[in-house]
């Protein structure tokens, strides 16, 4: 009896070994698969993470001087006897983002009365932003907003709007009448977009002391002309920034480079903004 007890214990112990090995083997395989699965999942997530799409760079990084964006001859024709021929600049915290200028004048025609004219041009530039979209997309949204604003001018009568072909990437002409200071004013507003910049030009006029009210066609013609010049002034910014520098090597080339640098100003490497201002015509 004393001999059989140890023998029985050894038999039971050996019989239990395969069961334990199987259990251990299953546990080991399960752990290995779990780690592999987790690792594969993490690796797959990191490998397939979509990158954010890069927005289109803004076309313009600066704005022209609004008071020189319209030619002197045009100002003389559209705003006779302007109080300030150089215009009155509007306030702005950042002229590279928002700027404006206005002119007004009263042309006294003696016994025939007087003709009053007023014109305003404004620029708004939008940068490309990863979260907000491209500058052009943001400008398009503002363009639509400005057209609606013009059509909803307080007190406006006989409001009409139509596309203004040939001005920027897109443009709308809004016309209406408005009575103030006991006179009938004729208004024309051109809202245009070129790239990431919105240009809003308003031109209006009235006849005082018995003078005839200006015709809508004349006011519209003047507004379209001035708006085209304002948009062209914006486009000159991009032209100046994308013009490659002259090759050095000869004396003439060196002189040419010096001239370009002093006149155009190039691009501010610290701010990334163009410093070119269009010349007044």
Q: If you average pLDDT over residues 251-270, what whole number do you get?
A: 38
CB 150 within 8 A of CB 227: no
Evaluate if residue 18 carries a pLDDT over 60. no
Q: Is residue 26 part of a domain?
A: no
Is residue 219 within 8 A of residue 203, CB to CB? The reply is yes
56, 146, 192 from 129: Cα distances, Å: 9, 21, 22
Q: How large a percentage of the chain has pLDDT more than 70?
A: 67
Number of domains within the chain: 1
Higher per-residue pLDDT: 181 or 189: 189
Q: Give the domain CATH number at 216.
A: 3.40.1000
- Determine, yes or no, domain membership for 270: no
The number of CA neighbours under 13 Å toward the Cβ of 10 is: 5
Tokens for 25, please give them. Answer: 């083997």
Inside any domain, residue 156: yes
pLDDT 10s digits, 202-219? 999 999 999 999 999 999
Residue 207 lies in a domain: yes
Q: Which of 268, 101, 131, 127 is nearest to 197 (CA)?
A: 127
Q: Per mean pLDDT, which range of 27-31, 236-240, 259-263 is the poorest?
A: 259-263
Residue 6 placed within a domain: no
Domain limits at 159?
Answer: 66-242
* Whether pLDDT at 35 is above 70: no
Residue 203 in any domain: the answer is yes
- What do you get for the CA distance between the two ends of the chain, in Å? 125
109-152 confidence digits (pLDDT tens): 888 899 999 999 999 999 999 999 999 999 999 999 999 999 99
Average of per-residue pLDDT across 74-103 = 97
Q: Is residue 47 part of a domain?
A: no
Query: Does 30 fall in a domain?
Result: no
């Amino acid at each position: 009896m004393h001999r059989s007890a140890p023998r029985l214990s050894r038999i039971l112990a050996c019989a239990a070994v395969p069961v334990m090995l199987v259990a251990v083997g299953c546990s080991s395989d399960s752990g290995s698969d779990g780690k592999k699965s987790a690792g594969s999942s993490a690796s797959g997530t990191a490998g397939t993470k979509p990158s954010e799409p890069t927005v289109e760079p803004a076309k313009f990084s600066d704005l022209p001087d609004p008071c020189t964006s319209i030619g002197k001859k045009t100002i003389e024709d559209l705003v006779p006897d302007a109080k300030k021929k150089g215009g009155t600049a509007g306030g702005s915290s950042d002229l590279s983002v928002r700027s404006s200028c206005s002119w007004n004048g009263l042309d006294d025609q003696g016994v025939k009365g007087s003709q009053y004219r007023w014109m305003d041009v404004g620029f708004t530039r939008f940068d490309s932003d990863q979260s907000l979209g491209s500058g052009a997309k943001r400008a398009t949204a503002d363009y639509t907003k400005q057209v609606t604003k013009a059509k909803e001018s307080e007190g406006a009568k006989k409001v009409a709007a139509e596309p203004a072909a040939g001005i920027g990437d897109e443009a709308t002409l809004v016309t209406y009448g408005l009575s103030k200071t006991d006179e009938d004013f004729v208004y024309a507003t051109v809202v245009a977009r070129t790239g990431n910049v919105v240009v809003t030009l308003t031109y209006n006029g009235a006849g005082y002391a018995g003078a005839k009210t200006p015709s809508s066609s004349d006011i519209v013609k003047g507004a379209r002309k001035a708006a085209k010049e304002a948009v062209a002034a914006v486009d000159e910014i991009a032209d100046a920034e994308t013009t490659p520098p002259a090759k050095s090597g000869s004396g003439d080339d060196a002189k040419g480079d010096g001239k370009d640098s002093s006149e155009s100003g190039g691009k501010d490497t610290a701010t990334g903004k163009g410093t070119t201002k269009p010349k007044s015509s």
